[in-house]
Amino acid sequence: MTLRSRPVPEAALTGSLRDFRSPEGPDLIDRIAGFYDWQNLRREHNLWPYARSISTAPQAHCDAQSDTGEPFSGINFGSQDYLNLSSHPAVKAAAIDAINQFGVHSAGSAALLGNTSYSLQLEQAMSRFLGDREIVLYPTGWAAGYGAVQAIVRPNDHVILDILAHSCLQEGAKAATQNVHFHGHLNLEALARKLSRIREEDKNNGILVVTESLYSMHSDTPDLRAIRTLCDQFNAILLVDCAHDLGSVGDDGLGHLGLQNAMDAVDIIVGSFSKTLGSNGGFVAVKDKATSEYLKYFSASHTFSNALSPMQAASVLAALTIVRSEEGRALRRKLMDNIVYMRDALAKAGLEAMGNPSPIVPVRLGVEAVGRFASRNLMDLGGIANLVEYPAVPQGGSRFRFQVMASHTHEDIDQVVDILARAMREADLEYRLGHEGQSDERRARSIA
């Protein structure tokens, strides 16, 4: 064990970002200083694991640095480049060719003069991949999710979301209407009750049901066809965000939309290029031209954002070509082999992998203090994975989100599982020793 002798104050082990989300006071700047004080206390004790940056490509092994500039390196399970396409020679060559032809900037909104021949080709290629749907491109996946909801829904309409729906979907709903409803995660009975209650009270306005095909903090997925049945029963529209599984899951790369034979069941598909497809950007796919044209001029994050750069569009186009090829199919099979191998290795080590097999392997840590110690220890020991804590996950449910790539080897997985087991053992001991010490101190004060 390599426990640190420096005591960690309780304030660095407790609290969350939620505590600082709604500061009060007349001075808009001064009232946010409390967040920095709390953040910096964690930083001083190497318990702030966010805003790290990589110094090399996001491959299976990489060099990185903390947000204070401290260098480290390790086995990388913190990047979402599931098929490693961001470093694929064909993708890099496509980006270089686009830069030589267009420069690095689209220099305009897609509603004005921001489109390029690459973005038009990308729209056509995505359409073919998704069953001839109409495609609208966005500068980020977040912008696509936000803009799809914000453009379609009006103030008297209703949006029903899974409680764990992504921030972009929730914020889009809040921007569009005050009639925002949440149901328990993957709870079809709760969704049915919400739909029934709304339709009993409001037969004239629209309902948008929002879910994801793969939830990135839990690695689980809804029954999409069952949700479609409920939407039909109550005259609702179904939107599915497929950011994490499209391209990386399923023999055809269509993710759970393909695995569940649910492509036609979904009215609006939202996706991101920043996971499997090797670049920034996102898209919305709909069934008719009228809807896509409406999105282009009433979706604020499309109309009033700069269009995808030619380099980004060309990169995604090249990556999508690989995803749809035999090479892509082989990469997905290698990725799934790694996923299953890692989940088995975790189980053998007595660690809990949550959810179902996917490129995301969440490993439960428990209370936030243990997670913070474990994250520091993991980095010190040569493992790289992202800590997720409340409010992104339920309180007391902190976890590592390991993101598996096709380029990982079984040896990489064995090593990182060993590192993780040691990091968690040390974290648990540090936490228990700290609490025993604080209990002794409190008892001494009470006696005095």
Paired residues of 75 in beta bridges: 61, 383
Q: Establish if 238 belongs to a structural domain.
A: yes
Laid out side by side, the sheet with 386-388 consists of: 360-366, 398-403, 386-388
Is residue 2 domain-resident?
A: no
- Label residue 443 by pLDDT band (50, 70, 90): very low
What string of H, E and C letters represents the secondary structure of 329-372?
A: HHHHHHHHHHHHHHHHHHHHCCCCECCCCCCEEEEEEECHHHHH
pLDDT for res 437: 53
391 upstream amide cis, omega within 30 of 0: yes
Predicted pLDDT at 448: 46
For residue 154, name the pLDDT band (cuts at 50, 70, 90). Answer: very high
Confidence band for 7, pLDDT divided at 50, 70 and 90: confident
Judgement on whether residues 286 and 209 belong to the same structural domain of the protein: yes
- pLDDT (tens digit per residue) in 167-180: 999 999 999 999 99
Residues 283 and 371 occupy one common structural domain: no
Closest among 284, 317, 280, 321 to 299, alpha carbons compared: 284
Query: Of 323, 342, 361, which marks where a domain is finished?
Result: 323
Give the model's confidence band at 447: pLDDT under 50 very low, under 70 low, under 90 confident, else very high: very low
Same domain? For 109 and 191 the reply is: yes
Q: 339 falls in which pLDDT band (50, 70, 90)? A: very high
What tens digit of pLDDT does each residue of 252-284 get?
Answer: 999 999 999 999 999 999 999 999 999 999 999
pLDDT level of residue 434 (50, 70, 90 thresholds): confident
Contact (CB, 8 A) for 420 and 350: no
Same domain, 212 and 228: yes
Say what angle helices 368-381 and 410-447 make with each other, to 10 degrees. 130
Does residue 24 form part of some domain?
Answer: no
Domain finish residue from 323, 345, 379: 323
Q: Is the domain of 192 the same as that of 222?
A: yes
C-alpha distances (whole Å) from 241 to each of 232, 304, 414 are: 19, 22, 32
Separation of alpha carbons 233 and 188, rounded Å: 13
The 268-272 sheet, strands edge to edge? 134-138, 282-286, 268-272, 237-241, 207-212, 158-162, 180-183
Assess if residue 38 is contained within a domain: no
In this model, does residue 6 exceed pLDDT 90? no
DSSP structure class, residue 109: B
- Indicate if 237 and 367 belong to the same structural domain: no
Mean pLDDT of 104-114: 93
Q: Which of 383, 367, 312 is nearest to 96 (CA)?
A: 312
Q: In the predicted model, what is the mean pLDDT of residues 442-448?
A: 46
pLDDT at residue number 445 = 46
The radius of gyration of the chain from alpha carbons, rounded to an integer in Å, stands at: 23
Q: Which CATH number goes with the domain that contains 102?
A: 3.40.640.10
Element counts in the chain: helices (H) and strands (E): 15, 14
Output the pLDDT for position 305: 95
Indicate if the pLDDT at residue 166 is higher than 60: yes
Three-state DSSP at 210 gives strand
Please indicate, yes or no, if residue 240 is contained in any of the structural domains. Answer: yes
Residue 93 φ/ψ, nearest 5 degrees? -65, -40
Query: Do residues 65 and 101 share a domain?
Result: no
| Alpha-carbon gap, residue 192 to 219, rounded angstroms | 23
Is the pLDDT at 226 greater than 90? The verdict is: yes
Average pLDDT, whole number, for the chain? 94
Q: How many CB atoms lie within 10 A of CB 175?
A: 16
Cα distances from 124 to residues 48, 200, 216, 291, 416, in angstroms, run 43, 41, 28, 16, 41
pLDDT tens-place string over residues 185-213: 999 999 999 999 999 999 999 999 999 99
Q: Dihedral sign, CA of 102, 105, 107, 109? A: positive
CA gap 401, 353 in Å, rounded: 10
Is the same domain home to 199 and 212?
yes
User: Cα(432)–Cα(409) distance, rounded to whole angstroms?
Assistant: 35
| Mean pLDDT in residue range 226-250 | 97
Residue 61 sits in a domain whose CATH number is 3.90.1150.10
Inter-helix orientation angle 326-348/310-323, to 10° = 80
* Helix, strand, coil percentages in the chain from 3-state DSSP, rounded to 5: 45, 15, 35
Report the b/e string of 241-278 with b at 16+ CB within 10 A: bbbbbbbbbbeebbbbbbbbebbebbbbbbbbbbbbbb
Locate tokens 């070509």: which residue? 321
Amino acid 1: pLDDT: 42
Domain final position from 272, 300, 323: 323
Both 58 and 156 in a single domain? Answer: no
Q: Is the pLDDT of residue 442 over 50?
A: no
If one counts the domains in the chain, the total is: 2
Alpha carbon 287 to chain centroid distance? 25
Share of the chain above pLDDT 70, in %: 96
Q: And the tokens for 423?
A: 């990091």
Are 237 and 160 spatial neighbours (Cβ–Cβ below 8 Å)? no
In whole angstroms, give the CA distance from residue 71 to residue 52: 10
Give the single-character DSSP code of 16.
-
In a domain, 354, yes or no: yes
Q: Is residue 5 part of a domain?
A: no
Residues 288 and 337 in one domain: no
What percentage of the chain exceeds 90 in pLDDT? 94
pLDDT for residue 56: 95
Based on the domain organization, do 346 and 302 belong to the same domain? Answer: no
Same domain, 133 and 250: yes
Identify the domain containing residue 173 by its residue range. Answer: 88-323
DSSP 277: T
Q: Check if the beta carbon of residue 72 is closer than 8 Å to that of residue 394.
A: no
Distance CA 364, CA 118 (A): 42
35, with CB counted inside 10 A (0-12, 13-18, 19+), is: middle
- 342 pLDDT higher than 50: yes
Asked whether residue 416 is assigned to any structural domain, the reply reads yes
Q: Where are the beta strands (DSSP E) in 172-317?
A: 180-183, 207-212, 237-241, 268-272, 282-286
Asked whether the predicted pLDDT for residue 438 surpasses 70, the reply is no
36-75: per-residue pLDDT in tens? 999 999 999 999 999 999 999 999 999 999 999 999 999 9
pLDDT in tens, 359-402: 999 999 989 999 999 999 999 999 999 999 999 898 899 999 99
Which tokens in the block code for residue 397? 């449910």
Amino acid at residue number 111? A
pLDDT at 433: 86
